A and B are shown apart, each in its own frame.
Chain A
Amino acid sequence: MPRKLSPSLENFVENYSGSIKNKVINGIRSGEKRFIFNGPSGSGKTFLAEAMANSMGLPFQRINVYTLENVEDLNISDIIFNTVYNAAVSSSLLQANGKLILIEDLEKVLSVDPSILSKLGGIENSIIIFESSSGEIFRSKYKKSLQGYEIIRFYRLNERIMTVYAKKILALNGMSLNDGTVARIVKNAKGNINSMMSDIYTLYITGSIETGINDRYSENTIFELINRVLLSKNPDRVLDFSTDGEAKNFEIWLSEKLPQVFHKDKLFLSYDAISFCDMLLMKIRKQNWGLLKYINFILFDAINSLYTGENVNIDFSAPNWNAYYSS
C-alpha cells in the first residue's frame, strides 16, 4: 500500500490556506468543545479531526452509529447516547484530559433523536465532533438541536491544491509521473482526496499509465467513446451509458451541437427529444435504472442524425464544462 501523509496540522490541505484549520484551532483555544464538520466526502474532515487530536496529544476515537451493538431494553437513541457518553467520560487517570471523539453521519443521529446533541453538551472533558456530509443539517427544524455546536464547513478541493497534494504523495512513495498523468488523476478525482488516493494506489500496483488510471467518472471519457463511434462510422450501438451523469453530460454536449446542424422544426424536434431525456434522468436518480436504455437510444439516435445530417463542420471536442457547471 502506498504511504499516506500522517495526520498532522501541517499536512492538512484546504483551498484557502488556514481558513478552516484556524477556525477550529481558535475555537478550541477559546474553550469550545463541540463542533460539526460539514462537507462533501473526501474533503478532509476526518483527517483534520485526527490531526487536531494528535497536535493536542488527545486520544482519538471514531464512532460509527451503524456498527453499534444492539443492547436489549434500550432504544437506539439511548444506545447512541451511551456509547458516546462512555467514550467521552473516562475515569482512567491516563485520560484525564479527555479525548477527541469523531461521530460519523450526523444526519443519522438527527433522524434518530435530535436531542442527543444537547444531552451531550454537559460532558466537560472531551472534544466531540460530528461529521456531516449533506445540507440536511441546515434545515430550520434542527436549528435548536445544534445550538452550542460550531459548524465548520469543508469544500471540495480545487485542482491546484489537489495537484500539489498528489505530487507530495507521489514523491513520498518514490513514484514519478509526468504532469499530464498527474493532471488526469486530479481531474478524475473531482476534488475528492480519497478518490485520488485510490487512483494513486491503482497506479502503484499496476505500475503502468495506460491501464492504471480508473475512469472513475466515465463522464470524462464518454467523449472519447463518441468520437470513436463517429470516426469509425460504426452504426452498431457500442455506446452505453452506465451512469446518469454520463447521459447528462452527453445531453449538454448535444444541445451545444444541435443548432450547428438543424434549423427550425428539426431543431425543435431534436431539442424536444433532449428535454424529454432530461426529465427522464430525473426519474433515474430515484433508482429507476430501466429508463436509462431509452435515453441511451434517443441520444444516440440524435448523434447519428448529427452524423448523417447536413454537411456541416462539427466540433467533436468536448465543450467547456465549467461554463455549464461551476462545481
Chain B
Amino acid sequence: MVLWVEKYRPSSFKDIIGQKESVDKLSAMVSKKEIQHMILSGPPGVGKTTSAVVLAKSLFGENMWSQNFIELNASDDRKLSVIQGKVKEFARTKPIDAPFKIILFDEADSLTQEAQQALRRMMEEYSGTCRFVFSVNYQNNIIEPIQSRCAILRFHPLTREDVFTFIRRIAKEEELDVDEQSMDALYYVSKGDLRALTNLLQSLSSVSKKITADVVYTQSGILDAGRIKEGLKKAVSGDYAGARKVFLEIMDSGVNIKELLASVFEIIVSSDDIVDRKFRSYVIEKLAETDYRVIEGATPFIQFQSFLAFLSTVKG
C-alpha cells in the first residue's frame, strides 16, 4: 500500500499550495544555482520539509539529489556529539556535480542551545561545501547568531480555500465523495496541517469512499467535539452541575488537559452559537488564564472547574 502522504507530496514548486513568496525565493535560488543558509519557519504541515526536498531535487537532479542532501530530524539523536559526527561526515566530502550540499534540520526547534552554538561554528567552517537549512515552527527557537546568518523564509498557515483545493485534488484522484460540510470538518480537525489531513483521509477512505463530517470527527482521534459543545452549552446556559458532569466524564476517559483546553478554545472560537461575540474575548481571557495556571503547575481538575463556574455566570 502506498502512503498518501508520499503519493501526494508535491514534487515540484508549482504543486506547493500557498506559500508563493517562499517558493519564489527558492526557485530563484535554483535558477541561479546558488543557495544560502536558510530558516524555514511556519506551522506544521504547510510545506516546509517538502519545499526543502523539492529544492534539493530541482537543484541536484532526480538521480543525484540523495547524494547531496541529508535530513536530520527529531527522531535522530539530538545529542551534540551525534550531530557533530553526522554533519562532519557529510560535509567533509565535496559535493557531487553541484556547488553545494544541503543539510536539512527538520524540527530544529528541539535543538538545544549548545547544539546550536556548535552548529553556528560548523556553518562557517563548512560554508564552502555545505548549506544548512533549518525547519522550525517558531523562528525564536533559533539563536540569534544563526538567525542572522540565514535567509528567513516564512511559511504561512493555509487558508480554508487552500485546504479545500488540496482536498479536491485528492478526492478527484482517489474518487472520494467529499461534500462541503465534511471539507469544513477536515479543515477544522487538521487545523491546516496537510500531512495530518492526508493521513486522516487515507484511513477514512479505507472504510468508505463517502466521507461525512460525522465520520471525520469520530475517526480523527481528537476529542469528541460534539460532547464538548454539549458541555459548554450547558455551562453557558447556567447549568453548572450538568456541564461538570459532562466534562468529568470526558476527563475520566483519560483526556490530557492540554488537549481538552485546546479543543475548548477551538470550539469557542470557531462557532458563534456557544458564546456571544460580545463576551468571547472575555471568556478566552479566562481560558488562557486557566491554561497559564495549569502550565505553572496548578491542579487541572480545580482550574478547569473554576473555568466552568465562570462560564456559567456569563449568561450568553
Residues of A within 8 A of B (CB): 1, 40-42, 62, 64, 66-67, 70, 104-105, 108, 133, 192, 194-195, 198-199, 201-202, 205-208, 211-212, 214-216, 218, 236, 238, 240, 242-245, 269, 272-273, 276, 280, 283, 287-291, 293-295, 297-298, 301-302, 305
- Residue of B whose beta carbon sits closest to that of A208: B28
> Among B65-73, B196-204, B237-245, B286-294, which stretch is in contact with chain A?
B286-294
Interface size in chain B (residues, C-beta < 8 A): 56
CA A105 to CA B145, docked complex, whole Å: 11
A129 to B30, CA, bound (A): 40
Residues of chain A within 8 A (CB-CB) of B24 are: 206, 211
Residues of A within 8 A of B35 (CB): 205
Q: Which B residues are in CB contact (< 8 Å) with A192?
A: 144, 148
The A-contacting residues of B in range 167-191, CB under 8 angstroms, are: none
A-B contact pairs, 8 of them (CB 8 A): A66-B114, A198-B149, A201-B151, A218-B154, A276-B289, A280-B288, A291-B292, A294-B287
Within the assembled complex, what's the spacing in Å between the Cα atoms of A105 and B291?
36
List the one stretch of B54-62, B90-98, B212-220, B277-285 in contact with chain A: B277-285
Tell me if B315 is interfacial: C-beta within 8 Å of chain A.
no
Q: Are B148 and A298 in contact (CB under 8 A)?
A: no
Contact B145 A194 (CB under 8 A): yes
CA distance A216 to B150 in the complex (A): 9
Q: A41, A198, A208, A276: which contacts B285 (Cβ < 8 A)?
A: A276
Contacts of A297 in B (CB 8 A): 265, 269, 281, 284
Task: Identify which of A244, A273, A291 contacts B291 (C-beta below 8 A).
Answer: A291
Whether, in the assembled complex, B305 has its beta carbon less than 8 Å from a beta carbon of chain A, the answer is: no
Asked if B121 and A302 sit within 8 Å, CB to CB, the answer is: no
Interface flag for B138 (CB, 8 Å) = yes
Which one of B156-164, B224-232, B306-314 is at the interface? B156-164
**Assuming the A-B contacts A194-B148, A244-B140, are A291 and B288 also in contact, with contact meaning beta carbons closer than 8 angstroms in the complex?**
yes
Q: Which B residues fall within an 8 A CB radius of A?
A: 21, 24-25, 28-29, 32, 34-37, 41-42, 80-81, 84, 114-115, 117-118, 120-122, 137-141, 144-145, 147-154, 156-157, 159-160, 258, 262, 265, 269, 280-282, 284-285, 287-289, 291-292, 295
A198-B36, A199-B151 are known contacts. Are A283 and B295 too (CB-CB below 8 A)?
yes
Contact of B280 with A198 in the complex, beta carbons under 8 Å:
no
The contact of B36 among A66, A205, A207, A280, by CB within 8 Å, is A205
- The docked-state distance in angstroms from the alpha carbon of A67 to that of B87 is 12
- In the bound complex, residues from chain B placing their C-beta under 8 Å from that of A294 are 265, 284-285, 287-288, 291
Nearest-neighbor residue (CB-CB) of B144 within chain A: A41
Given A104-B121, A205-B28, also A301-B148 (CB < 8 A)? no
Kindly list the 8 A-B residue pairs having the minimum CB-CB distance in the complex, ordered from nearest: A294-B288, A194-B148, A66-B118, A64-B121, A206-B28, A195-B148, A301-B281, A211-B24
Q: Which residues of A contact B121 (CB under 8 A)?
A: 62, 64, 66-67, 104
Establish whether residues A206 and B25, one from each chain, have CB atoms under 8 Å apart when the complex forms.
yes
A217: min CB distance to chain B, Å: 9
Query: Measured between alpha carbons, how far is A288 from B81 in the docked complex, in Å?
Result: 27
Distance of B11 from chain A, by nearest CB (Å): 22
Q: Is the CB of A280 within 8 A of B292?
A: yes
